[in-house]
Chain A
Amino acid sequence: AQSVTQLDSHVSVSEGTPVLLRCNYSSSYSPSLFWYVQHPNKGLQLLLKYTSAATLVKGINGFEAEFKKSETSFHLTKPSAHMSDAAEYFCVVSDLENAGNMLTFGGGTRLMVKP
């Protein structure tokens, strides 16, 4: 069975400072991992994905994440936060074990950016 834990339900940073959103996963197989962002009243938008290629994955809007198998982590980072980054972020794991019922979502991390 697969599972995802987002270690912080809320993160608050000041504009221009680094962002770190933490995610740990468990999976019986070689997983695919995703980060999605959800702005208010919007659906989920893909930020980046890891699918067994390079362990450092670059996404949109300056975000990146590093897959660390030994730590079963896939933390999301950004060097400098912008006000428009305020949103909810979801870490998602997917593996082959459950064909069709593929995605397991973390509980979400709400990012707040202070001026």
Chain B
Amino acid sequence: EAQVTQNPRYLITVTGKKLTVTCSQNMNHEYMSWYRQDPGLGLRQIYYSMNVEVTDKGDVPEGYKVSRKEKRNFPLILESPSPNQTSLYFCASSFEGRSNQPQHFGDGTRLSIL
């Protein structure tokens, strides 16, 4: 089954404790992206990757890191999480980074930073 898998689905942690949210897709997609969803704001892009070893900032990259060492994986790293990063996070992928291609989304990761 074609899917985007995120782990963990839920995490409660404390300020400053490094964490990683994993994202994996099994569709051989070149393009992958991370979003955060906050009430009334829709989804905002954090980082994206057009292909392996190619990453770039989205609209709200501060406080986040990513890497793309393999095509299928695109982890999101919070080196020193803060309460304002409490949010619902989505990973997405598409075949290519073209505007007319829909993206496939994971089921989300709800992070609470205390």
Contact = CB atoms under 8 A, between A and B. Distances in A.
B4 A90 contact: no
Nearest to A43: B105
A100 B97 contact: yes
B90 A102 contact: no
Nearest to A95: B99
B53 interface: no
A75 B90 CA distance: 25
A32 B102 CA distance: 9
Nearest to B107: A43
A42 B99 CA distance: 24
B40 A108 contact: yes
Nearest to A108: B42
B102 to A, nearest CB: 5
Interface string B29-55: 001010000001111110010100000
B14 to A, nearest CB: 24
A7 interface: no
Interface in B33-92: 33, 40-45, 48, 50, 56-59, 90, 92
A90 B99 contact: no
A101 B59 contact: yes
A99 interface: yes
Contacts of A43: 4, 90, 105-108
Interface in A8-65: 9, 31-32, 34, 36, 41-46, 49, 51-52
Interface of B: 4, 31, 33, 40-45, 48, 50, 56-59, 90, 92, 97-100, 102-103, 105-108
5 contacts: A41-B107, A44-B92, A90-B42, A100-B31, A102-B97
